[in-house]
């Protein structure tokens, strides 16, 4: 704060909080960091938090005399939590912030005060924000991307949707005096507050990102199902139609009817909205991470590794949200597990290997020598073909100068047990796949990735050899086992362009 703390504040910041212990310090600090040529105060209104939020608020208040703490004697869950803070506000302008959001620019208040002072007909101004998850990771760089706002708005534009992000508004206090009677009768206090201010002027919008809006499973709105969201919106419209200004009722009646008709017609005549797409980057994921997702809905995971698209995967989100561990397990069980490991193997098993696109197909090069061409573009299919063709290339090159069996030809011919007629051999996916010579009726193959055993498969011999392509084809359905070994085995969090050999990665991870 750059102005004396004992001067009359020009801005009163109202911070509303309930059980935000994990986030409240960041919210308060984002207010305290504001740099402005005027004084401001921070009124923290807590609705009887039970998770330690109030203790944090009191510690800040003890250190900063400009903080005014207010606490409910019991949880109210009403607009009174807001109105009591506004009643204590001494500033000409009132800014609003929730305890799980925060401001990102130290000049936010200064910019908005200058804006309102330049337009006396503007009751409130707001701005764009980024959307983040519970861990502070950016979900969407711009709130306006999906919730566009007009540069100048009125109650008509705000009747259709609340496009004002929670941590963004600055309101003239005079536009809130007095608050209308209907304010206490509606459910969405923030939306209703903006509408109350519009009795005296219009909305001004700044398309700059100056705050972060957090969406998480514990959030008031994001924690609701779509049916609950719809039901509460209809109640909000009904309350405004019954108690709001008569001049607004027709507009809000039309908005309510349109929303109700859309909801009723959706299952019968409208195509289902596409599932929410959530990007999962395996190079940046951590086991404890929680992604923002609507509870009890099916979303589409956009699976990537270091930005490289692996594919899309439907995923049903439970009550507790989408955890990274659940996402990894789902990816692992799917074909994307093999796709991801295919890319990994291309970069760790063959650190000098270069894949070149040749139109719809690819070719593989080692140094200046082409090992194979006409390879499929799909990573999983490409790796299977690549293993087979590289084996043959290396085999032919190695057999020229010398005679005798080659290590890549795994001879099981003379190791056949006398009783069962079965033989078990081990292969390593971190090495080129072998051809197996055997006269056993069937063969148990222990497939490993470096030192990690993935699975055992039984292959029935149809000829004198089991080709590398047969082994590779059998691996394509092993998404879960491969991903468990590669992802959980210490590969998660590594960039794809990291050329560290796979055994070294696993050793580094302590596996």
- Residue numbers of the domain that contains 249: 224-273
More confident: 3 or 227: 227
- Categorize the per-residue pLDDT at 117 as very low, low, confident or very high, splitting at 50, 70 and 90: very high
Q: Is 367 part of any domain?
A: yes
More confident: 511 or 390: 390
- Categorize the per-residue pLDDT at 378 as very low, low, confident or very high, splitting at 50, 70 and 90: confident
- Categorize the per-residue pLDDT at 416 as very low, low, confident or very high, splitting at 50, 70 and 90: very low
Give the number of residues written for the chain: 511
Same domain, 269 and 282: no
> How far are the Cα atoms of 210, 291, 315 from residue 294, in angstroms, in the given order?
25, 10, 11
How does the average pLDDT of the chain come out, rounded?
78
Same domain, 214 and 238: no
Residue 167 and residue 103 in contact, taking contact as beta carbons nearer than 8 Å: yes
pTM of the model: 0.54
What mean pLDDT is predicted for residues 116-128?
A: 95
The yes-or-no verdict on residue 73 having pLDDT over 70 is yes
Residue-level pLDDT at 360:
85
Query: Residue 108: helix, strand or coil by DSSP?
Result: helix
Residue-level pLDDT at 403:
38
What mean pLDDT is predicted for residues 153-168?
A: 88
Dist. CA 351–CA 498, nearest whole Å? 9
Residue-level pLDDT at 350:
60
Q: Is 471 part of any domain?
A: yes
Q: 46-55, 188-197, 450-459: which range is least confident on average?
A: 450-459
Same domain, 441 and 383: yes
Same domain, 326 and 430: no
- Look up tokens 């794809």; give the residue: 496
Q: Which of 339, 353, 447 is nearest to 384 (CA)?
A: 339
Q: Is 31 part of any domain?
A: yes
Domain boundary residue, one of 218, 233, 248: 218
Question: Is the peptide bond between 289 and the residue preceding it cis, with omega within 30 degrees of 0?
Answer: no
With residue 471 as reference, give the H or E element that holds it: helix 468-475
The backbone torsions φ and ψ at residue 209, rounded to the nearest 5 degrees and listed phi first, read: -85, 115
Residue 3 and residue 39 in contact, taking contact as beta carbons nearer than 8 Å: yes
Q: How many domains does the chain have?
A: 4
Q: How far is CA 241 from the centre of its chain?
A: 37
Query: Residue 223: helix, strand or coil by DSSP?
Result: coil
Same domain, 187 and 319: no
Token code pair at residue 103: 């401001």
Dist. CA 338–CA 482, nearest whole Å? 6
Residue-level pLDDT at 402:
38
Percentage of the chain with pLDDT > 70? 71
Q: Which of 136, 116, 120, 125 is nearest to 27 (CA)?
A: 136
Token code pair at residue 295: 């509870």
What mean pLDDT is predicted for residues 5-13?
A: 82
Same domain, 164 and 28: yes
Q: Is 341 part of any domain?
A: no
Same domain, 297 and 369: no
Same domain, 424 and 386: yes
Residue-level pLDDT at 320:
62
Residue-level pLDDT at 395:
43
As a whole number of Å, the end-to-end CA separation of the chain is: 51
Dist. CA 301–CA 322, nearest whole Å? 10
The yes-or-no verdict on residue 289 having pLDDT over 80 is no
Query: Strand 93-98 to strand 11-17: parallel, antiparallel, or no bridges (unpaired)?
Result: parallel
Domain boundary residue, one of 251, 273, 295: 273
More confident: 439 or 419: 439
Dist. CA 226–CA 111, nearest whole Å? 36
Dist. CA 178–CA 125, nearest whole Å? 19
Same domain, 239 and 212: no
- Look up tokens 């498969």; give the residue: 457
Helix axis angle for 379-399 and 335-348, nearest 10°, is 40
- Look up tokens 């070149």; give the residue: 356
Residue-level pLDDT at 417:
41
Tens of pLDDT, residues 320-360: 667 777 777 777 767 777 777 777 776 666 656 778 888 88
Q: Is 5 part of any domain?
A: no
Query: Strand 122-132 to strand 170-172: parallel, antiparallel, or no bridges (unpaired)?
Result: antiparallel
The yes-or-no verdict on residue 489 having pLDDT over 60 is no
Same domain, 368 and 269: no
Query: Strand 40-46 to strand 11-17: parallel, antiparallel, or no bridges (unpaired)?
Result: parallel
Q: Is 432 part of any domain?
A: yes
Within 10 angstroms of residue 257's Cβ, the number of other Cβ atoms is 11
> Per mean pLDDT, which of 11-20, 152-161, 417-426 is the most reliable?
11-20
What mean pLDDT is predicted for residues 177-186?
A: 82
Q: Is 343 part of any domain?
A: no
Same domain, 258 and 291: no
Q: Is 340 part of any domain?
A: no
The yes-or-no verdict on residue 401 having pLDDT over 50 is no
Domain boundary residue, one of 235, 255, 273: 273
- Look up tokens 């593989």; give the residue: 364
Same domain, 174 and 302: no
- Categorize the per-residue pLDDT at 313 as very low, low, confident or very high, splitting at 50, 70 and 90: confident
Residue-level pLDDT at 266:
62
Token code pair at residue 488: 């959980």
Dist. CA 269–CA 7, nearest whole Å? 61
Dist. CA 22–CA 100, nearest whole Å? 8
The C-alpha R_g of the chain, in whole angstroms, comes to 31
Token code pair at residue 262: 């859309």
Task: Show contacts of 249-254: CB within 8 Å, 24+ apart.
Answer: 251/155, 251/156, 251/159, 252/159
More confident: 35 or 438: 35
Q: Which of 435, 449, 436, 502 is nearest to 478 (CA)?
A: 449
Residue-level pLDDT at 42:
98
More confident: 43 or 442: 43
- Categorize the per-residue pLDDT at 314 as very low, low, confident or very high, splitting at 50, 70 and 90: confident
Residue-level pLDDT at 451:
65
The yes-or-no verdict on residue 249 having pLDDT over 50 is yes
With residue 24 as reference, give the H or E element that holds it: helix 24-32
Query: Residue 113: helix, strand or coil by DSSP?
Result: helix
Q: C-alpha dihedral over 471, 476, 478, 481, to 10 degrees?
A: 80
């Amino acid at each position: 704060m750059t102005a004396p703390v004992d001067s009359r504040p020009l801005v009163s910041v109202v911070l509303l909080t309930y059980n935000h212990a994990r986030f409240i310090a960041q919210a308060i600090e984002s207010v305290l960091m504001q740099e402005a040529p005027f004084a401001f105060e921070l009124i923290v209104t807590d609705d009887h938090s039970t998770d330690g939020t109030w203790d944090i608020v009191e510690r800040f208040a003890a250190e900063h005399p400009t903080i005014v703490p207010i606490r409910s004697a019991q949880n109210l869950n009403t607009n009174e939590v807001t109105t009591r803070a506004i009643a204590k506000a001494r500033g000409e302008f009132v800014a609003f912030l929730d305890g799980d959001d925060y401001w990102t620019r130290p000049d936010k208040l200064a910019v908005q005060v200058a804006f309102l002072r330049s337009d006396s007909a503007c009751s409130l101004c707001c701005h764009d924000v980024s959307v983040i998850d519970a861990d502070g990771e950016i979900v969407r760089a711009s709130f306006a991307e999906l919730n566009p706002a007009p540069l100048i708005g009125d109650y008509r534009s705000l009747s259709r949707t609340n496009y004002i992000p929670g941590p963004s508004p600055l309101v003239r206090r005079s536009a809130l005096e007095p608050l209308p009677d209907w304010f206490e009768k509606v459910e969405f206090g923030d939306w209703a507050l903006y509408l109350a201010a519009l009795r005296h002027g219009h909305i001004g919008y700044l398309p700059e990102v100056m705050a972060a809006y957090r969406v998480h499973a514990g959030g008031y709105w994001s924690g609701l199902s779509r049916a609950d969201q719809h039901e509460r919106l209809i109640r909000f419209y009904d309350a405004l139609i019954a108690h709001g200004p008569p001049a607004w009722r027709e507009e809000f009646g039309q908005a309510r009817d349109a929303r109700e008709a859309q909801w009723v017609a959706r299952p019968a005549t409208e195509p289902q909205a596409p599932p929410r797409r959530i990007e999962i980057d395996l190079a940046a994921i951590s086991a404890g991470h929680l992604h923002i997702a609507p509870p009890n809905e099916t979303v589409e995971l956009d699976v990537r590794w270091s930005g490289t698209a692996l594919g899309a995967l439907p995923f049903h989100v439970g009550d507790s949200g989408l955890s990274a561990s659940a996402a990894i397990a789902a990816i692992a069980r799917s074909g994307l597990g093999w796709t991801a490991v295919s890319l990994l193997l291309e970069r760790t098993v063959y650190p000098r290997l270069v894949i070149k696109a040749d139109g719809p197909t690819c070719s593989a090069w080692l140094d200046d020598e082409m090992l194979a061409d006409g390879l499929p573009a799909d990573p999983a299919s490409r790796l299977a073909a690549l293993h087979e063709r590289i084996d043959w290339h290396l085999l032919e090159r190695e057999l020229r100068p010398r005679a005798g069996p080659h290590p890549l030809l795994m001879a099981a011919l003379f190791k056949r047990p006398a009783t069962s007629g079965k033989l078990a051999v081990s292969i390593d996916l971190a090495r080129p796949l072998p051809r197996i010579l055997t006269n056993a009726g069937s063969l148990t193959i222990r497939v490993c990735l470096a030192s990690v055993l993935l699975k055992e498969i039984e292959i029935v011999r149809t000829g004198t050899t089991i080709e590398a392509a047969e082994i590779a084809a059998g691996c394509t359905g092993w998404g879960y086992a491969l991903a468990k070994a590669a992802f959980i085995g210490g590969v998660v969090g590594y960039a794809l362009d990291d050329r560290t050999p796979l055994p070294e990665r696993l050793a580094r991870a302590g596996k």
